[in-house]
């Protein structure tokens, strides 16, 4: 029987405009999994956690910019309607 350890980490990022108005929250989850047989259980949990942090960081690096741009664009559209 193979034993795996899994970890996930959730980042919640609040996007604010230059005036401090909350434009929205972005949720990004990182996931990691390590095999218990390759490591001791403590080391496997640490490895899975490190992989989850790395996955979350990669998602932030690749997914955050377009999502923030969409929030900013929506904010600009809302401003235009209010004027």
Check residue 80 and give its pLDDT.
65
Check residue 76 and give its pLDDT.
81
Check residue 83 and give its pLDDT.
59
Check residue 67 and give its pLDDT.
85
Enumerate residue ranges in the chain where pLDDT < 50: none
Model pTM score: 0.73
Check residue 46 and give its pLDDT.
92
Read off φ and ψ for residue 24, nearest 5 degrees: 145, 170
Q: Are 39 and 47 in contact (CB under 8 A)?
A: yes
Check residue 39 and give its pLDDT.
67
Check residue 32 and give its pLDDT.
97
């Amino acid at each position: 029987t193979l034993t795996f350890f899994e970890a996930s980490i959730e980042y919640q990022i609040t996007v604010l405009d230059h005036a401090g108005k909350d434009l929205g929250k972005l949720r990004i989850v990182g996931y990691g999994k390590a095999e218990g047989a390759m490591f001791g259980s403590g080391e496997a949990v640490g490895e899975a956690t490190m992989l989850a942090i790395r996955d979350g960081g990669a998602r932030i690096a690749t997914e955050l910019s377009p999502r923030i741009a969409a929030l900013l664009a929506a904010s600009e559209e809302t401003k235009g309607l209010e004027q």
